[in-house]
Structure 1
Amino acid sequence: MSKIRLGVSTLFMLILLSIFSAVAFAEDHVPTSTNPAPGINVGDVDNFGNQSTHRTHGNFQNNTNSCANCHSTHNGENEMLLMKSGEYELCMSCHDGTMGFYDVTKSSGAGTFDDSHLSSSMHNVDSDLLVKTAPGAFKNTSTALLECSSCHNPHGSPNDRLLKEVVVGSTNFASTLVNGVTTPVPVGNKTISLDLQDDPAYAAINALTGTGGLKITKSNGPKGSTTYGGQNDKIYYSQFCGACHDDYFAKRNAGTTTNPVPGKPSTGTAITPAHTHDTYTHTTNSSSQGRSCAACHYAHGTDATIMMDAVGNTVADYTKSVADGGKGWTQEKAEAYMKDVSARGSSLKKFTNTAVCFACHGTSISTTIDPQYLGADGRLKGRSKIK
């Protein structure tokens, strides 16, 4: 009996050691051209016989091994042979930080899916929400669930960050009115090109892959240059968002005598045509600074730790010591300051409360702004963060 107990104990210890070894491997993994991150195994030689790491999503080579990172030929856990039981579970098996890069629970150009802090709001892709319930969904009647693949194509896309060409909801209406002009919702067109820069934190991986393979990049948002037949990347970005939030993208037209504001419930009371009016909004149909959805909102989500105030400071800035240019606040004090108290919540905003309004318009409505908060252009420093 003692031998059996010893055997069981030994086996248990071996299991523990293997678990700790796996954790250590994930933390101390040295990237190689065929194994850039734990659990990710890709080809090493491209179709031209040159060394170049394949991408996990799309741009597959004829000798690809990328399929096996997500699908199991004989033991899939759903009808798509995914290695996890659902889409969210599969995506998060890498993008929760396990893969080492593109951790969607941490701050990035797209925001964060971390809901552990104050003022958290996000596109909740694990909630069984229907796309048609999006705020500002007017013509959009899609019955599809909001998932990662609502915006991203896991098998590749000509758009940066695997953003889809045909957005969920965009097939429900052919066009929308923008500044009085009928504008087609982009279906099957290159929608968005982002300003992507190599991430210096992953120089080791980027150096392995040459010019044709995996590159870990940081996004500064939609590019500002005019491209694609005279259109602009910022405009296409807003059209992308407007495929679901179509009422926020469309021009407000004059209402009727019983429904003065199009898209809103009827008042039930007849009024004279003289009182019929338009409503107004910040247009997103422009390449100007601050005129795309991405200027004010994160695509994934936000919380108090990554939001900014009107001078562009974050919680991290205020918790720095005075010697390092901060205020020396505690984390608790800084988060309380940055907390969004808006009635409708933080709404994926990059700026807390309505600080984005003050960042742009502060100097035109206030004459008592401390000069230390102004940039070289005489405007509040936060305005430079509104792309």
Structure 2
Amino acid sequence: MKRLMIGLLFSAALIFIFFNSQILAQNKQNSTTSNKASSKLVSTNIQSLNSSASSQQTHGSYQNNTNACASCHQTHNSSSEKLLTSDGIYSTCVSCHDGTLGIYNVFLPSTAGTFQGTTGGNPSMHVASGSLTIKSAPGGISGAHLSDDQIKAKGGNWTTEFNCASCHSPHGSYSDRLLHYNPNNMGNTNLKEGGNKAVLIPIFSYSATILSKKQIDSKEASGYPFILIRGTKANLGIIDSKINDNDTVIALYEWNTVGGQDKYRRLDNPWLYGVTYGAQRTYWTQFFKTETPDFTLGSDGEYKNVIDFSDEDVHFQFNKGYIYSSGTQLNEVIRGDIAQAYVVRLDKVKISTYGDIPVYAINQSALHQGPVDPKGTALNDSSINKITTSDGTEVAVGLGKAMSKFCSACHTDYLAHSSKEVGYFNTSEYRHSTDLDQYNCVRCHFAHGTDVTLMRDARGNTIRDLMTINNWSEAESKTYLLDSNPDSALKRYTDMAVCYACHGNLATEQIYNNPYAAQDDLYKNMPDMIPYSEQTTN
């Protein structure tokens, strides 16, 4: 019996070694015969071997020896669809961001607001628990009164649940605060449907006059004044040592007016990588050799008239917004689809550290074309446009507009200019301006939620301020700041003080011309700054 057992164990060992060697051989073969797209996927986050273990990030910027995955995912078994450590995205996020492990506690007051209100404080929150779908967003696709099938045909992820990952990208982002590069999938949705994707854009070869002469009508297929220009890196003003001098490069340009001058200007906004599988495999960003997409397969199993990420001899620089090749393929394309990422940059000021990781507060004024902080990240960030005012102040430009554009991925019709009837889904209503740095979404609203403990009056006074200035009790101050509406709409200011805080300081004639106006006490700047010392979480 003992000999039999030894024999069985020996046989089992031989079988294990045989099959294991076959698996290793098959893996080696697979690694050398993988499809062309997979062979191009290499780590883009390689960090120095000298990086300390404590400097590893949980969300993005992964090292090649990362152990971050286990922070949010189970390897084999989970009660959640995405193998998350908790039941659903919201529960997984708040298992750390309730102050237990993560740096940022979303249930404490911050520049983003709070996800926890107080009893009797008339709170309102972005309901990120997954109980609502994205189409519930005010100003969104619900204004079009469509069925779910019609909504899906429009693009976007309108019928999916709204949760933390609807606004934040847990695996990395082009934006500060991990704001999503493709919220509501609107980066891959046609501009005509409120998205950020320009489709069937015509491609022109570079010439000395091309930038100053409008090439297409704004009613072209893309619906917007975009063109793609093909040339060398010198032609397009691109500095990239990987590109040879004679390589063909294609980049996206937009017709706009800057400083009174109309011309095409190259957009360095990142392009989106992504694939949709259906009747055919479709990359979100791709180029065509025909006027309309032709997905006919060639003898090699690839599309004959399409250039996309699967093509070996072309190089997509998604994070820089261009494509290049040493071959001839890019000389054959005449149209392109460009899915563009959403990018939101902020002026961050370091206030502490969490281990080796810096903790930042936000200079909110920079979102409203206010001065950048001398110690903030915006000052030396070349991706943030800045101007110097007559008194020498450095001012950020475009941050507020980018924030409003981000919010409009769900609240699409709210991206508007006043006195105009605009909208993608409901075109019969006038809107408040949100398309300027000075008047962006977060000027009036918190992103996470609000409560009487966070709200201010038109002068920017908080409960604490009122207790000091007026010698009021805490209860009296709360009564004064309590919003009349139990659903306080994520407002930063109580009731319609959210209007008066801005329109009052503009000294509009109808407010100013009355005997009760504070003639000598007009405040020139809408209060919008929460002290860094109070920004303990976000």
**TM-score bracket relative to the smaller structure:** 0.5 to 0.7
**Secondary structure at 1:149 match in 2:** helix
Partner of 1:166: 182
Per-residue Cα deviation, 1:198-221 (whole angstroms, up to 9, x for no partner): 12xx34x3xx52xxxx22111234
**Secondary structure at 2:347 match in 1:** strand
Cα 1:280–1:58 change in 2 (3 A) is: same
Aligned match of 1:194 in 342, 346, 354? 346
User: Does the 8 Å contact 1:309/1:352 carry over to 2?
Assistant: yes
Partner of 1:240: 406
Q: CA RMSD in A?
A: 3.6
Shift of 1:101: 3.0
Per-residue Cα deviation, 1:198-257 (whole angstroms, up to 9, x for no partner): 12xx34x3xx52xxxx221112346448957998221111111111111111458987xx
User: Does the 8 Å contact 1:305/1:316 carry over to 2?
Assistant: no
**Secondary structure at 2:361 match in 1:** strand
Partner of 1:326: 469
- Amino acid in structure 2 at the alignment position of 1:361: H
Matched, 1:285 2:435: yes
Q: Kindly report structure 1 stretches of 4+ aligned residues shifted beyond 6 Å.
A: 183-186, 228-231, 252-255
Partner of 1:155: 171
Per-residue Cα deviation, 1:330-352 (whole angstroms, up to 9, x for no partner): 3322221111114x831111111
Aligned match of 1:133 in 112, 131, 136? 136
Distance 2:414 2:453 in 1: 27
Percent identical pairs in the alignment equals 35
Cα 1:158–1:86 change in 2 (3 A) is: same
Aligned match of 2:523 in 379, 383, 387? 379
Distance 2:340 2:104 in 1: 26
Q: Larger strand proportion, structure 1 or 2?
A: 2
* Mapping for residues 36-55 of structure 1, pairs under 5 Å: 47-51=48-52, 53-55=55-57
User: Does the 8 Å contact 1:253/1:279 carry over to 2?
Assistant: no
Per-residue Cα deviation, 1:180-210 (whole angstroms, up to 9, x for no partner): 99599995335100111112xx34x3xx52x
| Residue segments in structure 2 that go unaligned for 5+ positions in a row | 1-45, 145-150, 152-157, 196-218, 227-268, 271-338, 370-377, 387-396, 531-538
User: Does the 8 Å contact 2:415/2:433 carry over to 1?
Assistant: yes
Per-residue Cα deviation, 1:311-343 (whole angstroms, up to 9, x for no partner): 101112223xxxxx433333322221111114x
Moved more, 143-152 or 181-190: 181-190
Matched, 1:340 2:483: yes
- Amino acid in structure 2 at the alignment position of 1:197: V
Distance 2:93 2:129 in 1: 11
Partner of 2:362: 219
Distance 1:197 1:359 in 2: 26
The structure with the largest alpha-carbon Rg is: 2
- Amino acid in structure 1 at the alignment position of 2:405: Q
Moved more, 295-304 or 98-107: 98-107
**Secondary structure at 2:177 match in 1:** helix
Distance 2:225 2:168 in 1: 23
Cα 1:349–1:72 change in 2 (3 A) is: same
Partner of 2:251: none
- Amino acid in structure 2 at the alignment position of 1:53: S
Shift of 1:173: 4.5
Shift of 1:78: 1.8
- Normalised TM-score (structure 2): 0.50
Partner of 2:316: none
Distance 1:240 1:280 in 2: 20
Q: Larger helix proportion, structure 1 or 2?
A: 1
Shift of 1:114: 0.6
User: Does the 8 Å contact 2:168/2:177 carry over to 1?
Assistant: yes
Aligned match of 1:302 in 438, 446, 450? 450
Cα 1:239–1:190 change in 2 (3 A) is: closer
Shift of 1:54: 1.2
User: Does the 8 Å contact 2:412/2:424 carry over to 1?
Assistant: no
